[in-house]
Amino acid sequence: MRTFIKPLLLLVLSIVAITGCKKSSERSRSLVATSVIGIDPCSQDYSPGTPQKGYVLLNGNTGDVVVTYNLPVDIARKVDATFKLKNNVYFTDDTRVKVDLPYRVASDSEKVYLLCPAIVFVGDFDSSKQVIIVQ
């Protein structure tokens, strides 16, 4: 009987550990000091606030660089007004738009994948680190 209890106890504890400790995909729900440092080069011709318009964000707390496709329209318009003054999809330090935004990591089903015209130079742009702005 004693040899039966140990494997059963080990099995129960393993199931509890596996199902009870889920890794959260939430990155941040509190306000994060963020700067909009650029625009997804493949989406630069889309209108501000559309789901196809991507914005590159720099997290001021961690230094992470991420992309969002759901920037609030009022912020998107401000960024696009700044962008029209530049020839590059990345902004210089003096033209970055600073905002406080809550965001979380996007799930695979929420990520946006745009086809990019061959004439657009994407350089080191990486759209795989996408976030969703939590409103």
pLDDT digits (tens, 9 = 90+) for 1-40: 556 676 666 655 566 566 654 444 444 456 788 889 888 8
Q: Euclidean distance between the first and final Cα of the chain, in Å?
A: 56
Does residue 25 lie in a domain region?
Answer: no
Positive/negative CA dihedral, 38, 39, 45, 50 = negative
Residue 53 lies in a domain: yes
Segments forming the whole domain that contains residue 107:
32-133
Residue 22 falls inside a structural domain: no
- Which of 76, 96, 98 lies closest to 86 in space, CA to CA? 96
For residue 17, is it within any domain?
no
3 in a structural domain: no
What is the tally of structural domains in the chain? 1
pTM for the predicted model, two decimal places: 0.69
- Answer yes or no: is pLDDT of 66 > 60: yes
Closest CA to 48 of 80, 88, 82, 91: 80
Residue 50 lies in a domain: yes
113 within a domain of the structure (yes/no)? yes
